[in-house]
Amino acid sequence: MILSILVLLLSISGSFQPSPPEIHRGVPPFELWGLNGGSGCRIKFDQNWGVLGYETRNKLIRIDWFQLRSGSVFSQPMGYQNIALTYYPTAIVRSAANKICVAGKRENGFTVIQEFTLEPPTLRADAHGTEALDSKISGIAGIYDSADISRDMVVHMFRSMSSTPALFVQYWDSKDVYSVNLKTGVVTIQFRATQPSDAPLEERLSGSLSARFGGRDHPLMGYMYGFRFHSRTECGCLLLLDRNRDGILDSSLFLTDQDWAEMNLSDNSIYLDAGYLP
């Protein structure tokens, strides 16, 4: 069952200004596409789970709903819904218990980040009587809407675990990592991928990365944000660390798969963040 919601997105006047000629326009490169609802995150409302993804070329968010029934250990599929966008999504992350952030590219070249507030899903029946879960969007906040060289399109996005509501985002063109304050929209450099000047250098950010986990609280290393990294000569996990948990990334650490295993980092019981939801 397909439940489509056409969302009228918050417009910011700056998004109608011309973008610099160096900025990418139109459909994002294939490497940024989310296909068939993949490349997403999860959200939980009591016994109901939503697996969120995006389809870049179709300009939509997809939520696959599941419900854990009483007395069962398995979640039952409960349909899916599509949320139509006016831009091409390139990343999605859960930013709070009932909120998601979506980053994307407008036709005019502007990179956009918006935060959606979701209501707890309710059961609805279609014309054939089939029950499905459906969530309403109660609010949309504009976080970022600009066309800036070195900050063109978001390729990876993590929710900050600090008390300050923020995201850590990696931009596609520069591969640099910035923090984006969800209340003020202020963007602050955290790591440079190629040219160290006003931030630490981490050259592996320019390599082949995939998001491994959105954030864990390690008792010794603090908040950890991890990428899966691989090259011709090495393979492992690149960690960006907030050791004192103040919302600022202060160091990086590369671990081989053997390092990871020896440090027992796959054991959920060693972390301090109870109820971790990727």
pLDDT tens-digit readout, 158-187: 999 999 999 999 999 999 999 999 999 999
Q: What is the mean pLDDT of the chain?
A: 87
Is the pTM above the cut of 0.85?
yes
pLDDT in tens, 36-50: 444 678 999 998 999
Dihedrals φ, ψ of 210, to 5°? Answer: -140, 145
